[in-house]
Amino acid sequence: MGINHAAISGPKEAVIGRREDGALALSPIDQILVGRFACREFCNAPVPRQTIEQILRVARFAPSGANIQPWHVYVLAGAAKDRVSTALLDAHQNSRDEHISEYKYYASDLPDLYLKRRQEFGRLFYGSLGIAQIDLDARSRQTAKNYTFFGAPVGLIVTIDRRLEVGSWLDLGMFVQNVMLAAAGRGLQSCPQETFAKYHRILRRLLSIPDEQMVVCGISIGKAKAEGRETLMPRADIDEFATFQGFEL
- Of the candidate spans 2-10, 27-35, 187-195, 237-245, the one that interacts with ligand FMN by CB under 6 A turns out to be 187-195
Contact pattern from residue 142 through residue 181 relative to ligand FMN, giving x for each residue in contact according to CB under 6 A and a dash for the rest: ----x-----------------------------------
In terms of Cα–Cα distance, which of 216, 184, 153 is closest to 58?
A: 184
Q: Does 194 sit near ligand FMN (CB under 6 A)? A: yes
Considering the complex, state which of residue 84 and residue 245 has its C-beta at the smaller distance from ligand FMN: 84
Alpha helices in 112-190 (DSSP H): 112-129, 136-146, 166-184
Which burial class, exposed, middle or buried, applies to 78 when counting CB atoms under 10 A from its CB (0-12, 13-18, 19+)?
exposed
Cβ neighbours of 227 (radius 10 Å): 9
Q: How far is the CB of 7 from ligand FMN (least distance, A)?
A: 15
Can you tell me which of 158, 217, 221, 224 binds ligand FMN, judged by CB under 6 A? 217
Residue facing ligand FMN at closest CB distance:
231
- Is 85 a binding residue for ligand FMN by CB under 6 A? The answer is no
Site for ligand FMN in 3-62 (CB under 6 A): 37-38, 40
Strands annotated E in the chain = 42-43, 72-77, 154-161, 189-193, 213-224
Please answer whether residues 103 and 158 qualify as being in contact, where contact means their C-beta atoms are separated by less than 8 angstroms: no
CB of 212 to ligand FMN, least distance (A): 21
The span from the CA of 180 to the CA of 38, in Å, is 9
Does residue 191 belong to the site contacting ligand FMN (CB under 6 A)?
yes
Q: Check: CB of residue 157 under 8 Å from CB of residue 221.
A: no
| Count of residues interacting with ligand FMN (CB under 6 A) | 13
| Interface residues toward ligand FMN, by CB under 6 A | 37-38, 40, 121, 146, 191-195, 217, 231, 233
